[in-house]
Structure 1
Amino acid sequence: MAVGALALAGCASKEERAGDGNATGNAGWVKGAETVKIGLISPMTGPYAILGILQQNSIQVEMDRINRAGGVGGARLELVVRDSALDPGKAVQAANELTGDNQVRMVVGPSLSAFYNAAKGVYEQNAKLNCQPGVGTGDFSVLKYGFRSQDPNYIGVEKLMQYFKSKGVTSIGLVYEADDAGKANDGFIAELAPKYGIEYLGFQQTRPDDQSHRPYVDKLKDADAIMVSSNASGAKTMAAAGEAGYKGVLAGTSGLQNVSFLDAAGDLAIGSVFSAVNVQFNIRDRESWKPGYKAHVEEVVKRYGVVEGPKSGAEMPKGTAIAADCVTAFAAAAENVKSLDPDKLASAMEQLDISDAETPSGNRIKPADHEFFHVEDLHIYRWDKDDQGWFITDVTPGS
C-alpha cells in the first residue's frame, strides 16, 4: 500500500502536489490522503500537566466523533501532541516543528498567554492555522491565522463588573501573578470598574516563591470583592482568604471552575463566583444541559473519568470542551471550502456560525473577529454546597 501511495504521489499533477486541498482523490477532496493531522502543544508533564491532559482528552473525543462521521474530506483526523512542560523555549520549539510539518493543518496551543505570545509570530510568518483554548489575553483580531476558543479575560472581567453592579459591590481588588495575564487584568479592571461605578483598590502582585498570599489579602481586606488568579496560584489566594476570615466575594474568570480552588478554600468558596462560557457539569439538572455539550461531556467521562478534588470531593470532567471546539470549527471550515489551504481555511473560519446546540462546549461559535466567544456568551456561575456536595448555580444577571 505504501509503494502504491508513493507511485500515485509521483504521478500527481502540480496542482495536487501544491496541497491546496481541492483536487479529488481516493479520500474526496483531500487528494487521497489517509490522515489530516492536528497538533497540540500544552504542558503534558509537571505541575500543570492537568491542562494538557484535559485538552488532549476532549480533542480526541471530538476527533473520533468526526472520524466516525467520515472524517474531513474523507480523511481521518489524527492528533500529534508535544509537551511544552511549562517552558516557553520548548513551546516555541514545538511550534516551529509542527509549523514545518505540512501534514499538520492546524495547531492547538501553546497554552498560557506568555507562551503563545512567544510562538504566535511563528504561526503568522509561516501561514499555520492555530486555535487557542488556553490563552486569556492578547488581541486576536490583528492575527490572520490565529483564533481563540477561550473566553478572553477582558470580557470575563466585564461580565464580572456587570454582575457586581447588579449586587451592589462598590470596591474590588486584584491578587494575581505579575505576568502578562495579571498585568492585563489589572488594566482591564482599571478601565472597566469606573464604568460600572466600582472603586478599584489596586493590584497585589504575587511571586512564584510565595509560601502564602495572606499579606496580599490583608491589604485588600476592605474590598467588597477580590479577583483571584485563574492559574494555579489562585488557590493560594483562596486559602489565604480563608485564614484571614475574609467576608467579601471571591471571584475570577473561567479558571475558577477547577476543583483545586475548592480544595484550597474549603467552605470559604461557598458563594464565590466566576465568569465563563457554558459550564454545566456541576449543574445537577442535566436536562438543562446543551445537547452537544451533554453528548461531549458524557463521552469524556465515560472514556476518561472525572477529576475529583481530594479534599472537597467536587468533580469536573477529565476534558475541556473549548479545546474540542477548535476541532469542530476546523472541520466545519474545511468542509465549507473543500480545502486545506491555510488562507482559505482562515477565511472560512471567519465565516462560521455554529449553533450552541451543536458544539462540544455548548457555546455558539461565530469567530468573525477571530474570537469564538463574546461577552453576551458568558455566564456568571456561583459555587454552592449542600449535604450532597458542591454544585454551581447560574446567577448571570437577567438569566
Structure 2
Amino acid sequence: MSALVLSGCASKEERAGASAGAASAGWNKESGTVKIGLISPMTGPYAILGILQQNSIQVEMDRINQAGGVGGAKLELVVRDSALDPGKAVQAANELVGDGQVRMVIGPSLSAFYNAAKGIYEQNRKLNCQPGVGTGDFSVLKYGFRSQDPNDIGIEKLMQYFQGQGVKSVGLVYEADDTGKAMDGFIRELAPKYGITYRGFQQTRPDDQSHRPYIDKLKDAGAIVVSSNASGAKTMAAADEAGYKGVMAGTSGLQNVSFLDAAGDLAIGSVFSAVNVQFNIRDQATWKPGYKAHVDTIVKKFGVVEGTKSGAKMPKGTAIAADCVTAFAAAAENAKSLDPDKLAAAMTALDIPNTETPSGNRIKPADHEFFHVEDLHIYRWDKDDKGWFITDATPKS
C-alpha cells in the first residue's frame, strides 16, 4: 500500500479497503501490537504540550487502526511523563529503547531534552520523530526525524515577508537563552540575503519591569522579532507605549492562545511564520482536507483550548505530532518491515502531499526534516466584534 493511500489521498472507503488488503497480506508476523512511545511533559507548567501531542497522536492511531492497522497489527501508545526534567526524559528514552515492541518514540519535547536523548536513539537504532524540537541539525542523524518547523526556516520565511513589505531593517528582542542566541545567529545570517539590515539583539532578563529600553534602541527598525511567550507580550507593550509603527513578528509560538492572553489587543496586526495552522481562518472551505478531518475529530473528542483573557480558541491537539504516526505507518507499509534501518530508509523516501496529512503540510523528509521553508506560511492576527482570527499573508512568490 502506497504512502499516499495510508496518509489519506483516497476516500475513506478506498483507504479502508487498501489497509484491509495489507492486513490480509500479513507481512508483519512479529507482534499483534506495534507500540509507539511518547515522552513529553504531562504534568507541570508545560503539561498542555504533552496533552495536545497525546490527543493528536491517539486520534491518528485510531484512524489507522480502524483501517486495518500496520501490517495487520494495531498501534498502541505508550506515554512517559518527562515532567520538564531532563533526567526523567533521558530515563524514559532508555526505557523505551529497551522495549522491543516500541518501534518509534515521539519526543522528548524541547531542544535541550532531545539533545540529551538523541545519542541513546542513535546507539540503539530506535526510530524517533520530534514535533517539539526547534533547533539542531537532523540531517546528521540516521534514526531521528523532525516534524516541527525549525527556527531557522521560520526566520527565513519572515525575511521573505519583510522583503515583500519593503522592510529595510529588523531587530530582535528575546531572552538571552540558547533559543535567543540561535535566533540572533539566524537573523544575522539571513537578513543580508534579503537586503535587510540587522539592528542587533536586545537580550531581555526575567526581572525586567519594562522592555522600553530595548524598544528605544530599535525604534528605527522596520520590524522587531519577539519571543513567543509573556516576555514577547511585554515587548509588544513597550512598543505600544513608545508609539512604534513597525512590524511586530515572531515564529510559530505566536499562534498559541496563551500568547494572546498575555499580549491582548497589542497582538493585533502582529505576524508569525508557521506551518499550516488554519483553525482561526474563518473560511473553512480553504482548510486542507486532511487537516480539517483531523481537527474536526480533535474538537469532537477533546474540545478546544480557550484563552481565559483573550477568548481565542485553538484545537486541543497538535497535528504535527500526528504527522509522526502518519509517516511511520506509511514507511512501515512501504518497507513491509519494522526493522529500524528499513524504516529509516523508507521514511526518507516519503512524499505525502499537504492535502492528505493531519497537519495539512507536505511530508517529504529526505533530509530528515518533514517541512521546509516553502511549506511555511505567514499569518497575521486580527480582531473584530466576533473575536480573534488569522489571515494568511504569505508572500505569493
Q: TM-score when scaled to structure 1? A: 0.90
CA offsets 1:167-209 (integer angstroms, 9 cap, x no match): 1112211122333322111111000111112111111223445
Change (3 A) 1:232 1:72: farther
Match of 1:290 among 285, 288, 291: 288
The amino acid across from 1:238 in the alignment is M
Q: Does 1:330 align with 2:328?
A: yes
Superposition pairs of residues 305-324 of structure 1, within 5 angstroms: 305-324=303-322
The Cα RMSD (Å) is 1.9
Give CA-to-partner distance per residue, 1:289-328, whole Å, 9 cap, x none.
Answer: 0100000000001111111111111111111100000000
Q: Which residue is 1:155 aligned to?
A: 153
Match of 2:163 in 1: 165
* Aligned twin of 1:129: 127
How far apart are 1:220 and its partner, in Å?
A: 2.7
Supply the distance in 2 between the matched residues of 1:205 and 1:345 (Cα, whole angstroms).
Answer: 43
Distance 2:253 2:164 in 1: 22
Residue 229 of structure 1: how far off its partner (Å): 2.0
Count residues in correspondence. 376
- The Cα of 1:240 is off from its aligned counterpart by 4.1
Q: Which residues of 2 match residues 275-286 of structure 1 at below 5 A? A: 275-286=273-284
Q: What is the rounded CA distance, in whole Å, between the counterparts of 1:208 and 1:293 in structure 2?
A: 37
- Residue of structure 2 equivalent to 1:10: none
| More displaced 10-residue stretch of structure 1: 141-150 or 263-272 | 263-272
| Letter of the structure 2 residue corresponding to residue 97 of structure 1 | E
Structure 1 CA distance for aligned equivalents of residues 296 and 306 of structure 2: 16
> 1:204 touches 1:216 (CA, 8 Å); kept in 2?
yes
Partner SS state of residue 354, structure 2: coil
Deviation at 1:222, TM superposition (A): 3.0
* Structure 1 residues 126-155: Cα deviation after superposition (integer angstroms, max 9, x where no partner): 111000111111111110000010111111
> Which of the residues 72, 84, 87 maps onto 1:86?
84
Asked if the contact 1:26–1:33 (Cα under 8 Å) also holds between the matched residues in 2, the reply is: no
Cα 1:208–1:365 change in 2 (3 A) is same
- Indicate which of 168, 178, 181 corresponds to 2:179: 181
Write the letter of the residue equivalent to 1:357: T
Dislocated runs of 4+, deviation >6 Å: 24-27
Distance in 1 (CA, whole Å) between partners of 2:49 and 2:29 is: 35
**RCO (CA 8 Å, sep 6+): is it higher in 1 or 2?**
2
- The AA in structure 2 aligned to 1:150 is Q
| 2:235 aligned partner, one-letter code | T
Identify if the C-alpha distance between structure 1 residues 92 and 237 changes in structure 2 by more than 3 Å, giving closer, same or farther: farther
Partner of residue 204 from structure 2, selected from 203, 206, 221: 206
Indicate whether 1:389 and 2:387 are aligned: yes
Letter of the 2:277 counterpart? V
Alpha-carbon distance, 1:29 to partner: 2.5
Distance in 1 of aligned mates of 2:216 and 2:48: 31
**Worse-superposed segment, 185-194 or 83-92:** 83-92
Say whether the 8 Å CA contact 1:27–1:75 is kept in structure 2.
no
Matches within 5 A, 1:24-35: 28-31=26-29, 33-35=31-33
CA 1:115–1:241: 2 relative to 1, 3 Å: farther
Letter in 2 for 1:365: I
Establish whether residue 365 from structure 1 lines up as the match of residue 356 from structure 2: no
In structure 1, give the amino acid aligned to 2:75.
L
- Matched to 1:161, the amino acid is M
Residue 102 of structure 1 corresponds to which residue in structure 2? 100
Same amino acid, percent of matched pairs: 86
- Equivalents in 1 of 2:215, 2:321: separation in Å? 33
Aligned to 2:140: 142
Match of 1:36 among 34, 37, 41: 34
Contact 1:235 1:260 in 2 (8 A): no
Q: Which 5+ residue runs of structure 2 have no aligned equivalent?
A: 1-21
Is 240-249 or 379-388 further displaced after alignment?
240-249
